[in-house]
Amino acid sequence: MTKDEDRPVIRVEKLTKDYRMGTTMVHALRGIDLTVRRGEMVAIMGPSGSGKSTFLNLVGCLDRPTAGQYWLDGIAVSRLSTGQLATVRNRKIGFVFQSFHLLPRATALENVTLPLLYAGVVGAPARRRGLQALEAAQLPLDRARHQPSELSGGEQQRVAIARSLVTGPSLILADEPTGNLDTRTGLEVMAVLQELHDDGITIVLVTHEPDIAAYCGRVVRFQDGLVVDDAPCPSPKRAEDTLAALATKEVAS
């Protein structure tokens, strides 16, 4: 078990990604070396075009690197077939997107159980697990039968977080999870992520807001396809505290 705990969730070496955009070649990643250990909460920052989204797509197994190595939970991902990558995305990775990306005509619970469908879990066991995931993402359960259009932005993002949790993955990848939310709701979502992190889930979060990065235990900065800074943050801020302070201020004013 200790060996398992010690194994990094993400390990990339010389990760390179080039792609063609029109006639020009874009070198999105120029050889990234990075290791994310189990239980870390890492913020990836950088200006647009720095390669942070490309990195997230590669780590999320949605894309293949031009060169370099990637081990996810000890699995050499570059050697996997397309079908195996789909399975890896299903079992090992949970995605949280800036614009939630919920299926509009499905209920919150149906959205949450979608990954279970592709894992072969359906019916009552899937619903039970979906409700557990919604509880873990702190969505009031009376919202489970609502469609996304009937939910607030914060609620929708909780549904998305529940969806990312439902298959019990090793890693949650969040791409600007607070980008479409106001400050307070964004903090609420960060509080949910921090609590999941407290319980041992590894989280990699892309953001360009330093305020959000401040809630993570480690901040990695990208620029021009390279890692330019990688700093631990020994005592990150707690989103709960900020929210409490915010509430006090509101009462005072």
Partner 1 sequence: MSTPDNELSGRRTLPPLDLRGSTPFGQTVVLAARSAFASLGVHKLRGALTIIGIVVGVAGIFVIANLALLVRTATVRGIGGLGANVIDVSGFTLSSTAPLATGAGHGLVVRVSGAPSLTAADVEALQKLPHVAGVTPRTGTRMQVQAGARNWTTQVFGAYPGIQITQGYSVQQGAFFSQADVAASKTVAVLGQTVAKQLFPGGNAVGQQIRIGSVDFSVVGVLKPLGANGDQDLDDVVVVPASTFLQRLMGSGPARMTSGGPPPGANVKTGGGPPPGVQVFQAQGVQDPALARANFPDVQVAVDDPSNVPTVKSAITRALEQDHGITPGSKDDFTVGGFLQGVETAQQAASTILWGMGAIAAIALLIGGFGVANVMLASVAERQREIGVRLAVGASVADIFLQFLLEALTVSVIGGLLGALCGAALSLLMSTQLRGLPFAPSWLAVVAALVAAVAIGLIFGAYPARRAAQTDPIQALRRA
Minimum distance from residue 231 beta carbon to partner 1 (Å): 27
When the beta carbons of 14 and 128 are compared against partner 1, the nearer one is: 128
Residues forming the site for partner 1 (CB under 8 A): 57, 60, 62-63, 82-83, 86-87, 89-91, 95, 97-99, 101-103, 105, 114-122, 129, 132-133, 135-136, 138, 140, 154-155, 163, 165-168, 175-176, 179, 184, 188, 191, 195-196, 198-201, 239-240, 243
Minimum distance from residue 142 beta carbon to partner 1 (Å): 10
Minimum distance from residue 165 beta carbon to partner 1 (Å): 6
When the beta carbons of 12 and 111 are compared against partner 1, the nearer one is: 111
**Are 133 and 162 in contact, with CB atoms under 8 Å apart?**
yes
Rounded-to-integer distance, Cα 225 and Cα 68, Å: 14
Q: Where are the alpha helices (DSSP H) in 79-208?
A: 82-92, 108-117, 123-136, 153-165, 183-198
What is the DSSP code string of 16-42? EEEEEETTEEEEEEEEEEEEE-TT-EE
- Contacts of residue 9, defined as CB under 8 A and 6 or more positions apart, other chains included, come to 36, 37, 38, 40, 72, 73, 170, 171, 202
When the beta carbons of 11 and 163 are compared against partner 1, the nearer one is: 163
When the beta carbons of 71 and 97 are compared against partner 1, the nearer one is: 97
